[in-house]
Amino acid sequence: MTNPSTINILISNDDGIFALGVRTLANTLAQAGYQVTVVCPDRERSATGHGLTLHRPIRANIVEDFFHGKITAWSCSGTPSDCVKLALSTLMESRPDFIISGINHGSNLGTDVLYSGTVSAAMEGIIEGIPSIAMSLASFSSRQFQPGADFACRLVQQLQDYPLPDSTLLNVNIPPVAADAIAGVMLTRQGLRRYIENFEKRFDPRGKSYYWLAGELVTDIEQPEHIHLPSHILTDVQGIQQNYITLTPLQYNLTDVVSFEYLQKNKWLDNSPDIK
Task: Dump pLDDT digits (tens) for 111-122.
Answer: 889 989 999 999
For residue 11, is pLDDT > 60?
A: yes
Pairing of strands 209-213, 132-137: unpaired
- Residue 43 domain flag: yes
Answer whether residue 204 is part of any domain. Answer: no
Q: Is 104 annotated to bind ligand?
A: yes
Count structural domains, the chain.
Answer: 1
Asked if residue 78 is part of any domain, the answer here is: yes
Element (H or E) spanning 158, and its range?
helix 146-161
User: Is residue 221 included in any domain, yes or no?
Assistant: no
Is residue 211 situated within a structural domain? no
Q: What is the pLDDT of residue 22?
A: 97
- Is the pLDDT reported for residue 42 higher than 60? yes
Q: Which residue has the higher pLDDT, 228 or 148?
A: 148
Q: Is residue 223 part of a domain?
A: no
pLDDT band for position 48 (cuts 50, 70, 90): confident
What pLDDT, on the 0 to 100 scale, is given for residue 46? Answer: 85
Determine which helix (DSSP H) or strand (DSSP E) holds 86, and give its type and residue range. Answer: helix 80-86
The pLDDT assigned to 192 comes to: 82
Task: Tell me which residue of 94, 70, 82, 69 sits closest to 43, measured CA to CA.
Answer: 82
pLDDT, residue 147, reads 96
Segment among 16-20, 140-144, 251-255 with least mean pLDDT: 251-255
Give the pLDDT confidence of 225-267 residue by residue, as tens digits.
Answer: 776 777 788 999 999 999 999 999 999 888 888 888 888 888 7
- The CATH number for 250's domain is 3.40.1210.10
* 213 falls within a domain: no
Q: What angle do CA 227, 229, 235 make, to 5 degrees?
A: 100
Judge whether 184 lies within some domain: yes
For the entire predicted model, the pTM comes to: 0.89
270 is in an annotated binding site: no
Once rounded to an integer, what is the mean pLDDT over residues 13-19? Answer: 95
What pLDDT does residue 230 have?
73
Please give the residue range of the domain that contains residue 164: 4-190+229-259
Q: What is the pLDDT of residue 275?
A: 53
What is the average per-residue pLDDT within 90-110?
95
DSSP E strand boundaries for 175-235: 184-187, 194-196, 199-203, 209-213, 216-218
